[in-house]
Chain A
Amino acid sequence: MSPSDALAFGTIVAMAAVTYATRAGGFWLSTKFVLSARLERTLQAIPGAVLVSLVAPQIVDGGVAGAVASAGTIAVAARTKNLLAAVVTGAVLVSLVRLLS
């Protein structure tokens, strides 16, 4: 195994360990401590903040095609609550707008 392969594999193992720690840790901690209201609010704020951070730069860089596709994706998601429908809508819209511009 080359050094860069070893590093890649090691990184993945570290990611897995850290991820499992978060999966098991919540239950484990809840058997030891009581969750304060403030802490619970903080933890609840995390997924939204993370997802927005992941998506915002790509949307901003996506130009008109990205904006139209995002609006369409959000609209379909809000209407149907169907992940597949929303994702397909986004992909179709983005390629359509790119085709037309």
Chain B
Amino acid sequence: MSSLVFAGAAQFSAIALWPPASAALVIVFTTLVINLRHLLMGAALRPWLSRLRRRDVYPSLFLMNDETWALTLRELSAGYRDAAFLAGSGVTIFVAWVGSTVLGRWTGTVVVEPEKVGLDFVFAAVFLTLLVGLWKGKGDLVPWLVAGAVAVLASETLGENWYVVLGAIAGTAVGSFRRAES
């Protein structure tokens, strides 16, 4: 999963919903919704990527993720010429990501109780940190509260499968009504 999908939030969600016996469709749909932001990220890079050959652009995009996109955007906006930055940073993260997945698989059976060391909290901590980075001001407060409330309600009433998608849709819907930047 780490090498083909290469998308942390989606992978963690999928694992929470695993096995796919009853949840395959929900897993794939959740993956789609979680990763929709890539549409915006790819579009944002258009001014620079449009100057490359198609066969350089589309493989580079395979490895794009939040961190490398943000770094690439920053570099290119500051005048750095080489759009290959996207591919290069992507490869670096790919090696680290897949390598860590393999390492975790091997050592996972050795760490008996992740709860004792707080490892089970790591997912939440990563997402919280990403949220801090995404925070753009008071305008985010209501959409995020709505997303959280709907997600919590959905997870209590509808169980494991739908709460991410429903919370995300609710939060996005509210967020799309923002007037100019606040």
Cα A72 to Cα B95 with chains together (Å): 30
Cα A46 to Cα B173 with chains together (Å): 9
A51 touches B151 (CB 8 A): no
Count contacts on A: residues with CB < 8 A to the other chain. 66
A13 to chain B, nearest CB (A): 7
Given A4-B19, A24-B61, A45-B172, does the pair A90, B43 have CB atoms closer than 8 Å? no
Given A27-B45, A60-B152, A73-B129, does the pair A51, B134 have CB atoms closer than 8 Å? yes
**A57-68, CB under 8 A of B: which get 1 and which 0?**
111101000100
B123 touches A58 (CB 8 A): yes
B5 touches A19 (CB 8 A): yes
Query: In the complex, which residue of chain B has the Cβ closest to the Cβ of A37?
Result: B180
A41 touches B178 (CB 8 A): yes
B167 touches A62 (CB 8 A): no
Chain B residues whose C-beta falls within 8 Å of the C-beta of A66 in the assembled complex: 121, 124
Interface residues on B, range: 35 or more
A49 touches B152 (CB 8 A): no
Question: What DSSP secondary structure best describes chain A's contact surface?
Answer: helix
A53 touches B147 (CB 8 A): yes
A91 touches B43 (CB 8 A): no
Beyond contacts A15-B27, A49-B175: 7 other A-B pairs, Cβ-Cβ < 8 A, are A23-B38, A46-B33, A53-B165, A54-B12, A55-B127, A56-B147, A83-B126
23 pairs, CB–CB < 8 Å, chain A vs chain B: A4-B19, A11-B24, A11-B28, A15-B28, A18-B35, A22-B32, A25-B38, A26-B43, A27-B45, A48-B135, A48-B175, A51-B127, A53-B147, A53-B164, A54-B34, A83-B129, A90-B125, A90-B128, A91-B121, A91-B122, A95-B115, A95-B117, A98-B115
